[in-house]
Amino acid sequence: MRRKEFLQLIPVTPVAAGMLSAASAPVRVTGPTVFDPARRHERDFAPTGGLKRISPNLYVYEDCVNVYIVKSGGRAALINLGTGDVLKALSRIGVTQVDRVLVTHHHRDAVQGLADVDGYEFLVTVPKSEAHYFQDAEGFWRNAEIYLNYDLRSRWNTLRSSVKISNQVAGGDAVEWEGIEFRAIETPGVTDGAISYSARIDGETVVFTGDLIAGAGKVNNWFDLHWAYYGFTQGIDASEKSFERVRAEAPRMLLPAHGAPIREPDAAMRENSRVYAVLRKMLPPNSTGRASREMRHILPHLIHVGGPECQNTGVMTTYAILTESGKSLFYDYGYVDLDHIRKVKRDLGIKHAVVTFSHYHDDHLIRTYELMRDDNIEIWVLDKMADVVENPMRYRLPCLVPFPIKPTRVVRDGEKIEWEGYTLEFFHLPGQTEYHQGLAVEIDGKRVLFTGDNTWKKADPARIRNGPLVPHNEYFLDDGFITCAKRMLEYLPDIVCPAHTEEYSPTKEDLEGFLEWANELRDVMTALIAQPDPNFGMDYRWCHFYPARHIAGRDEFPVELRLRNHLFRQGTIRVELKHGADVLCAEPVRSFSVAAKTEVAIPFVLRRTANFGQRTMVTADVTFNGRRLGEVTELVVD
């Protein structure tokens, strides 16, 4: 749903001023989320803080994760710690001392309380392959990749500062406590170093599985399962092997970090495997590639620019629309060999160029810095992606270039530009990323559509058309490829020019199949993701700082926390900024309301202290409709 339709359904108004202190800058409404009203539901977050008994000596405290309590008299061992609030609840079940905390993986929601509990004396056991995230969090953040990053594993969900650990375990290791053996099982899935713990408690074998599974056919989110840019199924492939290791324990019950106890473990894991098999069939990567490396005429006035022999065809993304007057419009300008482009321009008599980009990724615009030295160049960028292109340092997204590109013209969604006898229609074309542009134009009597990375020429013409699902690029389930397929059907192009394969001519039936695939993908993900609204498990930026990184400048600086309420009901939100002593915030706690399907920006002012070093981290601890979600996002301060 777009802004105009949204305004007819839900009033876009700031939150009540009475909820904020007089010193607070107002929470700013930045617009609606994208949603389909036909998929309305009444689901909501369950309140935090429930303490439930599972068996005589086994309890769960429902925090930002499930914190499991194994009790022996007045002593306890915990599996994960969450926010640490469990420590205040233990007296209710007669526990006076915590001896151990066994950690399944390094994500903040599992362990953020370790950074807040002063001088804890209990022993902390962590996965051996993830120990550095606990022992040297500062080192991780100091070296975290920001630009040209194709590694999408959830390492950014690391503690803001180092914490004390006692021992490390790998698969097969055991931790003894009060006659109970907690055996470590290697269970990568949401992280590549996650472990589970198998133990016999109250006469039954149980496995504490972390985020491996959240129910029968359920996971907590999809974005943690997407490990590397080109690996759409790496996380679920690893999860399947982890299921086999868990089955070998013959457990009577699985105890996940999110979701209710799973009392039919094998059936639940089989259901996840069934869904994963569906997704593998739905998400095959592009296997065709680009066959030709030469500069090639597709039509008399449309070329693929190509590249030299030494260049990988996978980065040859540039097309050019030619004119009789010596002007050209380059669509995408990624890793273009400069000598090759000079030869193309000489051979074709190109004297002036307009450059536009399908999206912000490096292989579609990185060599533009060479063109920017030329005064005879124009850069046109769609409004949806203009800020990412001009201010990449404000974002944490894959494949960012490490320099700004300032547009000479920002074009609007749906804008038609008359240029050199062509009518160029620019529009938002989400799919592979939310920040994506499409271009429709008639060239030499043919309807041509430029689709960037959203589609490709199929290796098997009989196969249903699909696209690359990369949630870290920002993806909304009611938008994305559904919008892309509808746009392509509206235009019914004679020729589609994709970025990484040769052009193709789709039939109407082919594009209708693409739309069916996109709708099915939404249905599968909606059923798989165990969130009150599935977009909380697909949109990894539902809560994020803007800018995501603050560099140098004044000691005092403003930031915004941007938050999307994907629910079909109002959200009552509490946010608390967490940080070390090298940064101060006069008002770190904000409480406010957000209308259904609305995005807001919450302003904060931070200040570096005199002992500020090179880099520090600030996190946002969010409570949503009474559910403590924990430190869901982070700000890099350099």
Please list the rounded mean pLDDT of every run of 10 residues in the chain (638 residues). Answer: 37 34 75 96 94 98 98 98 97 98 98 94 98 97 93 95 97 98 98 98 98 98 93 94 98 98 98 98 90 93 93 92 96 94 93 95 94 84 98 96 96 97 98 98 98 95 94 97 98 97 97 98 98 98 96 86 98 97 94 98 95 92 98 96
pTM given for the model:
0.93
What are the phi and psi torsion angles at 319 (to 5°)?
Answer: -110, 165
CA distance 585 to 578: 9
336: exposed, middle or buried (C-beta count within 10 Å: 0-12, 13-18, 19+)? buried
Helix or strand holding residue 200 (H, E): strand 195-201
Q: Is the dihedral of CA 80, 84, 90, 96 positive or negative?
A: positive
Helix (H, G, I), strand (E, B) or coil at 340: helix
Q: How far is the CA of 537 from the CAs of 467, 530, 564, 566, in angstroms? A: 19, 8, 12, 10
Helix (H, G, I), strand (E, B) or coil at 222: coil
What are the phi and psi torsion angles at 191 (to 5°)?
Answer: -130, 155
Omega before residue 430 within 30° of 0, cis: no
Distance from the Cα of residue 268 to its chain's centroid: 26
Instruction: Give which of 65, 59, 114 is closest to 89, Cα–Cα.
Output: 59
CA distance 350 to 524: 48
What type of residue is 410? V
Buried b (16+ CB within 10 A) or exposed e, 48-59: beeeeebeebbb
What type of residue is 65? V
Strand 352-356 with 327-331, pairing: parallel
How many Å from the N-terminal Cα to the C-terminal Cα in the chain? 38
Q: Where are the alpha helices (DSSP H) in 55-167?
A: 86-89, 108-111, 131-135, 137-143
The answer to whether the CB of 511 falls within 8 A of the CB of 356 is: no
CA distance 118 to 95: 19
Strand 377-382 with 409-411, pairing: parallel
State residue 232's pLDDT score.
85
Per the structure block, which two tokens stand in for 330? 């380059």
CA distance 54 to 60: 7
Per the structure block, which two tokens stand in for 34? 């994208």
State residue 322's pLDDT score.
98
CA distance 161 to 203: 39
State residue 1's pLDDT score.
39
Instruction: Give which of 341, 306, 301, 305 is closest to 321, Cα–Cα.
Output: 301
Q: Where are the alpha helices (DSSP H) in 94-250?
A: 108-111, 131-135, 137-143, 234-247
CA distance 296 to 155: 42
The answer to whether the CB of 6 falls within 8 A of the CB of 12 is: yes
Helix or strand holding residue 384 (H, E): helix 383-390
Q: Number of H helices and number of E strands within the chain?
A: 12, 34
Per the structure block, which two tokens stand in for 197? 């713990």
The answer to whether the CB of 32 falls within 8 A of the CB of 1 is: yes
In order of start, what are the domains of the chain with their CATH numbers?
3-32+541-637 (2.60.40.10), 51-282 (3.60.15.10), 296-528 (3.60.15.10)
- Geometric angle at alpha carbon 407, from 549 and 388, rounded to 5°: 25
CA atoms within 13 A on the CB side of 322: 20
- Geometric angle at alpha carbon 557, from 552 and 561, rounded to 5°: 115
